[in-house]
Amino acid sequence: MDWAYDDDLYLTSQDEDLVLHANKYVAVLFKLASQVDCPKKDYCYSILYHYAQDLMMRRDARALQEIFSIIITDKDLKDPQLLHWFSDVQWVYQLLKEPRVITEDEVNRLTFLLTDNFDITLRAVKLGEHSSGLVEFAKHYGHYTDYFYVDPQVGDWKISKFKRLA
């Protein structure tokens, strides 16, 4: 916890925050992201956001359920940003547990939740409907492109690194 309140302590290399992508760190990251006076509040939130995003992308329902049990018992769930995030993660979890037809707005919401990374210049762009009936999105990173696909008939998704589906 001292790390979050010391401006001279920080994670030094790119992606070093990934070491905190584990359920055993969720409680402390959540507590820090909930504290208004924490200098690294937003950073702790971004670590939580990306960790849950990774779990959702991989469909790790068990780990998501563990996160819910950690956070639901936390009395600090008052921060509007964290409440919104928690609601979004629960929504995706419900799609995992109970697949269903989703609307165009829900396709867009799902795509945003699973591909957003806080950089407005790197948002997924809808390419249209794939011949398979999947809705196709592309996210360009300069040297490569990820393709994200959503099946609105069952609320399912997949990602294709570097190559579009044939």
Domain count, the chain: 2
Note whether residue 145 is domain-resident: yes
Query: 140 lies in which domain range?
Result: 119-161
Residues 124 and 92 in one domain: no
What is the per-residue pLDDT for 8? 59
What is the per-residue pLDDT for 128? 94
Note whether residue 32 is domain-resident: yes
Note whether residue 113 is domain-resident: no
Distance set, CA 45 to CA 28, 73, 83, 165 (Å): 11, 18, 11, 33
What is the per-residue pLDDT for 68? 84
Residues 88 and 131 in one domain: no
Structure tokens at 87: 């609601």
Note whether residue 166 is domain-resident: no
Residues 78 and 151 in one domain: no
Residues 22 and 64 in one domain: yes
CA–CA distance, 65 with 68 (Å, rounded to integer): 5
Note whether residue 110 is domain-resident: no
pLDDT at 20 over 80: no
Residues 76 and 138 in one domain: no
Note whether residue 9 is domain-resident: yes
Contact call for residues 148 and 139 (beta carbons, < 8 A): yes
Which CB contacts under 8 angstroms, 24+ apart, belong to 78-87?
78/34, 79/33, 79/34, 81/33, 81/45, 82/30, 82/33, 82/34, 82/45, 85/45, 85/48, 85/49, 85/52
Q: What is the pLDDT of residues 80-133, one digit of tens each?
A: 888 888 899 999 999 999 999 999 999 999 999 998 876 566 789 999 999 999
Which single residue is written with the structure tokens 């990306």? Answer: 50
